[in-house]
Amino acid sequence: MAEPLFLTDLVLAFVLAVTGGLLGRRAGRSQAQPGSAQREERQRPLVLYVTAGVVAARLAVAVLLLATSGWQLVGHRFLLGLPVVVLPLVWALVRRTAVAAHTTAIGAWLSFYFLYVPPGPQDLPIAVGASAIVLATTIGISLLLGDRRSRGGRLARLPWLSLVASVVTAAALGSLFLVSESESMDWGGGPERTGHSVHAMGHRHGAEAPAMRSVDELTGPREGTPDARFTLTAAHSTVRLSSGRKIDALTFNGTSPGPELRVKQGQLVEVTLVNKDVAEGVTLHWHGVDVPNAEDGVPGITQNPVRPGERHVYRFIPDRTGTYWYHTHRDSERTVERGLFGALIVEDGQQGVQRNVFTHLWPGGGKDQIGAFGTADTAERRAIPAGSPVVLRLINSSKEPHRILLGGTPFRVTAHDGNPIGEPGELKPGTDLFLAAGGRYDVAFTMPDGAVTLRLDTSEIPNKAGLAFSPDGRAAPAELQPGRLFDRLSYGSRTGPKPEGGPYQRTFNLVLDNGFGFTGGSFTYTDTINGRLSPAVPTLMVHEGDRVRIRITARGIIDHPMHLHGHRVRVLSRNGEAVSGSAWWTDTLNVAPGESYELDFTADNPGVWMDHCHNFEHAESGMIMHLAYDDVTTPYHGPAH
């Protein structure tokens, strides 16, 4: 319900800015042209009442949001966005003076600004103080102009309050630009940069600062014969979809998805990345695997990109079983979409017929996209003997969340993001799975005598992708309709010891928003974290061993799959409702409009880690922050995504 209310409020705020401007204009004309004062006084109440109606509608929307989504979502509206216009409006309704009308007009503009350029929680006190100063200045100028205009004078008739609004807006936007530019310079250097941005912002446990370590020291085992050794060669190639359509792709070892890397928990894994001809450069990020920081594959943070003709060796020991995946972290918005990804399976003991199923949107030319299961963008049939146990490892390798329809058999979700679910209950056929970008579900069922259908529901991108499993392999995918969504909050049972809780040494509050800001050298409407865009988003500083608690709230109109590198996190609650099923561990959490989550984790993997939206388009536009340990620096610099 939150998303339509957000959109309604955006429209109402725009209308409010227009009616507020008309109200101020009427008041200004009545001051500037005393002869027309009587006519303007008759017209002003109409505009005033329309403005009051719009404000009342915005209040109603805010109350509905409060009732359905809680204070975290609308607190800034009640503390700032609405008071700046409601208080002057009440004054204008009680005392229909030009001064009150002018103050209401500026309040309407401020309310519009704070919705379209929302401040982060850390900026709220400053925004409240600045708004009070602006409104007080408006009152003073209006009183002064009214006095001067009553005595005549061309200078007094100029649109001074329009100038005030313009100056305030320019100053506010200029401060955003200066913050963005200054932080960009901080993040643009080498060791000195990290020493400033990370080290100086850190906290200390004890009187002395800890000895500093470089990311380069935080490697996997350098010695010893690997138990599993692979080579992945990135190159330009052509991928043919099941429809016959050809994709100008980037592949690992000539295929996309790339080769499955299947290993065992505790094994020493060595992967050699070779870049044949990918001009953008390539890295390998092990999505969901808590590798040592130097093995994380993030250019500009943990390594330099591997250029054409170069190679890079990764060595790590996976400490958890489950379904994971690998992908490049260089120019990800385009290079992952074109095919630089594959499955990493750490064997978890699940038995039976196993299949990795990537849900992917291939580039179709221009802005077109092609929905597919791996390379199957049309109906695909597979034979599985009746009575066989089946495990589908679903992996979303695209930038959008996907709704996956499964029909024909009851099933269980046995793992989420590589984390087993305790005592997973049986779900009815027709229960849909909502899979975050970058997320994974393991789905298990016993093959029935009839057909089982898997479909990809991408309502905005029509597709014909469908998988049909049947004993003879001849059944076509059934037509499925969207059903009830699987809810992870209450699914499964708590098993084993209770996960570790507080006390917490660090607490962070993250607000995901939509608003205007500076990114990529331009001013645009984009997605922000605490009112900032990378590289101006402050780093989350921790000390090794800290227990960390995070509240993350989506106040915008778009889903954001947030992915913290190097750590899995535990979801404690959603919109104030505690997790009641199996402990919810994840590495990629989809935060939908109007949702607020409480999370925690232990800072037990030192390094400088990316924490970003896994919608690569959002990340590229600036929805990136970092989690940094206070004794770690990095010698690398440059674009981190």
CATH number given to 353-486: 2.60.40.420
pLDDT the model gives residue 497: 65
The answer to whether the peptide bond before residue 401 is cis (omega within 30 degrees of 0) is: no
Asked if pLDDT for residue 187 goes beyond 50, the answer is no
114, exposed or middle or buried, with CB in 10 Å at 0-12, 13-18, 19+? Answer: buried
Cβ contacts of residue 15 below 8 Å, gap of 6+?
54
Give Cα separations from 338 to 173, 330, 508, 591 (angstroms): 36, 12, 35, 26
372-400 b/e (C-beta count within 10 Å ≥ 16 → b) = bbbbbbbbbbeebeeeeebbbbbbbbbbb
pLDDT of residue 25: 77
Q: How confident is the model at residue 584 (pLDDT cuts 50, 70, 90)?
A: very high
CA angle 121, 128, 126 (to 5 degrees): 60
**pLDDT at residue 183 in the model:** 47
Nearest Cα to 407, choosing from 341, 337, 479, 300? 479
Q: Is the pLDDT of residue 150 over 60?
A: no
Does residue 45 have a pLDDT over 90? no
Q: Is the dihedral of CA 145, 146, 147, 148 positive or negative?
A: positive
Tens digit of each residue's pLDDT (9 = 90 or more) over 236-281: 999 999 999 999 999 999 999 999 999 999 999 999 999 999 999 9
* Cα separation, 452 vs 447, whole angstroms: 8
Place of tokens 């402050």: 538
- pLDDT, residue 366, reads 72
CA–CA gap between residue 603 and residue 615 (Å, rounded) = 25
3-state secondary structure of 373: strand
Is the pLDDT confidence value at 207 over 50?
Answer: no
- pTM of the predicted structure, to 2 decimals: 0.88
Residue 506 structure tokens: 């660090």
Does position 303 have pLDDT exceeding 90, yes or no? yes
pLDDT at 227 over 90: yes
What per-residue confidence (pLDDT) applies to 169? 66
Can you tell me the distance from the alpha carbon of 22 to that of 550, in angstroms, rounded to the nearest whole number? 44
The per-residue pLDDT for 167 is 72
Average of per-residue pLDDT across 367-375 = 91
What CATH class does 218-349 carry? mainly beta
Query: What is the spatial distance between Cα 48 and Cα 26, in angstroms, rounded to a whole number?
Result: 10
Band (393; pLDDT cuts 50, 70, 90)? very high
Q: How many CA atoms lie within 13 A of 188 on its CB side?
A: 6
Lowest mean pLDDT among 370-379, 472-481, 630-639: 630-639
Distance of alpha carbon 407 from alpha carbon 410, whole angstroms? 8
In whole angstroms, what is the distance from residue 36 CA to residue 23 CA? 15
Range with the poorest average pLDDT among 27-36, 281-290, 578-587, 595-604: 27-36
Q: 3-state class of 439 per DSSP?
A: coil
Determine whether 266 is exposed, middle or buried from the number of CB atoms within 10 Å of its CB (0-12, 13-18, 19+). exposed
pLDDT for position 173: 60
In eight-state DSSP terms, residue 594 is: T
pLDDT at 641 over 70: no
Residue 320 has pLDDT above 60, yes or no: yes
What is the average pLDDT across 335-361? 95
Q: Is 182 helix (H, G, I), strand (E, B) or coil?
A: helix
Q: Can you give the pLDDT at residue 120?
A: 86
Where are the domains positioned within the chain? 2-175, 191-215+496-633, 218-349, 353-486
Report angle CA 346, 352, 358 to the nearest 5 degrees.
55
CATH topology for the 191-215+496-633 domain = Immunoglobulin-like (2.60.40)
Q: What is the pLDDT of residue 139?
A: 85
% of the chain beyond a pLDDT of 90:
64
Give the pair of three-digit tokens for residue 520. 């990529």
- Is residue 474's pLDDT more than 60? yes
Closest CA to 485 of 428, 540, 564, 529: 428
Q: Measured between alpha carbons, how far apart are the two ends of the chain, in Å?
A: 33
**Predicted pLDDT of residue 69:** 84
pLDDT in tens, 552-569: 999 988 999 999 999 999
Name the one residue in this structure whose structure tokens are 């900026």: 123
Q: What integer pLDDT is reported at residue 526 of this predicted model?
A: 87
- Whether the per-residue pLDDT at 201 is higher than 50: the answer is no
**Which band of pLDDT confidence, cut at 50, 70 and 90, is reported for residue 70?**
confident
Is the pLDDT at 149 greater than 60, yes or no? no
Location of structure tokens 């959008």: 400
Average pLDDT score over residue span 602-617:
95
In angstroms, how far apart are the furthest CA atoms of the chain? 96
Angle between helices 98-116 and 160-186 (to 10 degrees): 20
- Quote the pLDDT of residue 306: 97
What rounded mean pLDDT belongs to the chain? Answer: 87
The arithmetic mean of pLDDT across residues 601-612, rounded, is: 96
Candidate ranges 160-174, 409-423, 497-511; pick with highest mean pLDDT: 409-423
Per CATH, 218-349 and 353-486 having the same topology is answered yes
Alpha-carbon span 130 to 114, nearest angstrom: 12
503 φ/ψ angles, rounded to the nearest 5 degrees: -70, 155
Q: How many CB atoms lie within 10 A of CB 164?
A: 18
Query: CA 221, 224, 228, 232 torsion: positive or negative?
Result: positive
In the prediction, which pLDDT does 194 show?
32
Phi-psi region of 307 (alpha: psi -120 to 50; beta: other; left: phi over 0): beta
Does residue 60 carry a pLDDT above 70? Answer: yes
Alpha carbon of residue 325 to chain centroid: 19
Look at residue 460 in the predicted model and tell me its pLDDT. Answer: 65
Evaluate whether 256 touches 250 at the Cβ level (below 8 Å).
Answer: yes
The pLDDT tens digits for 506-539 are 999 999 998 887 776 677 788 999 988 888 888 9
Contact 73, 553 (CB under 8 A): yes
Q: Indicate if the pLDDT at residue 291 is higher than 80.
A: yes
Residue 313 pLDDT more than 70?
Answer: yes
